[in-house]
């Protein structure tokens, strides 16, 4: 990959590289050239790590998703490192220049608005291309909304799957949830406040009566965690105004059940069809055996048609 050298206006002169913590002025250590992927607080600014402060203060520049948000953190700890916007709308333009700077011997820090970069945030291509160029990529771990929610949900943590955001449209959202029905672990996903009630209703429909938790505004003043079944949580949020803030939904895995044979599955579907519609029969049998609802629905439709 051919990378053009950085222009003069991209390299800003730096004053003393320091930060302030607990009232003390601390000199940041010099950094070797590379890309530093730095986790930042998800709400409470005191959750930043000392290493994150050292890197942000010692870097030649910070690539930030939204410089207005990141500036609040830097001002809190009196860090004057230049900020460069890096987000999904300008990444194709900024990425080659950032890689050029690293190849030229600079240290750049990558941060997101909150939490760990690349977790439902831009940055994957930057890391991938830096690695392909054999540039140093260093992780400075720290806060993560997904992990924080998993810790307080009260659900199994030995195996979990991070889903990110579900599709906003209902049909696509249901299809995505249905594809996750047979996943063996706890599901962790992000959701927008205005879509929370609908998402919980679709999760309840596709996954059945699973235990779940909704964590909102973690580490902030109005932190809240609600626990219950998917259906009960869906009913709660449907009866209220849309909540505010950042939201993480944690859903328990379906109960492990022995596999059911094709003939036994057909018998259960036929029995369910005696009293239920094809759609409802498929949903009931799928939930009973933790099977993808679409798969059972297709079989129920075939059996219902053959019976006519």
Q: Domain map of the chain by residue range?
A: 8-143, 146-251, 262-306
Under CATH, what is the fold of the domain 8-143? Cobalt-precorrin-4 Transmethylase; domain 1 (3.40.1010)
Amino acid 8: pLDDT: 45
Amino acid 286: pLDDT: 81
Walk along the chain (308 residues) in steps of 10 and give the mean pLDDT of each run.
51 73 95 98 96 98 96 97 95 96 98 91 91 98 96 96 95 90 92 97 90 97 96 97 96 79 88 88 80 83 80
Q: Does domain 146-251 have CATH number 3.40.50.720?
A: no
Amino acid 28: pLDDT: 96
| Full-model pTM | 0.81
Q: Quote the crossing angle between the two packed helices 230-238 and 196-207, to the nearest 10°.
A: 150
Nearest to 168 by CA among 189, 187, 146, 191: 191
């Amino acid at each position: 990959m051919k990378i053009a050298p950085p222009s003069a206006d991209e390299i800003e002169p730096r004053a003393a590289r320091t930060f302030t913590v607990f009232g003390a002025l601390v000199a940041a250590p010099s950094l070797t050239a590379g890309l530093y992927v730095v986790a930042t607080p998800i709400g409470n600014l005191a959750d930043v790590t000392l290493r994150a402060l050292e890197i942000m203060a010692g870097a030649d520049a910070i690539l930030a998703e939204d410089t207005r948000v990141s500036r609040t953190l830097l001002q809190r700890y009196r860090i004057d490192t230049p900020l460069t916007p890096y987000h999904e709308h300008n990444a194709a333009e900024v990425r080659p220049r950032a890689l050029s700077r690293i190849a030229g011997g600079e240290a750049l820090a990558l941060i997101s608005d909150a939490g760990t970069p690349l977790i439902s945030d831009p940055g994957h291509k930057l890391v991938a291309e830096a690695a392909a160029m054999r540039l140093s990529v260093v992780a400075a771990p720290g806060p993560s909304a997904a992990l924080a929610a998993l810790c307080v949900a009260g659900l199994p943590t030995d195996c979990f799957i991070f889903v990110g955001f579900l599709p906003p449209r209902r049909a696509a959202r249901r299809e995505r949830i249905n594809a996750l029905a047979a996943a063996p672990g706890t599901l962790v996903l992000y959701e927008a406040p205005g879509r929370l009630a609908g998402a919980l209703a679709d999760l309840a429909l596709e996954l059945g009566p699973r235990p779940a938790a909704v964590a909102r505004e973690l580490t902030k003043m109005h932190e809240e965690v609600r626990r219950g079944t998917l259906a009960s949580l869906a009913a709660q949020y449907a009866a209220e105004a849309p909540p505010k803030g950042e939201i993480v939904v944690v859903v328990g895995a379906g109960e492990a059940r022995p596999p059911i044979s094709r003939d036994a599955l057909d018998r259960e579907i036929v029995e369910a069809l005696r009293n239920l519609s094809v759609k409802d029969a498929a949903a009931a049998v799928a939930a009973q055996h933790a099977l993808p609802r679409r798969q059972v629905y297709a079989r129920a439709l075939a059996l219902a048609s053959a019976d006519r």
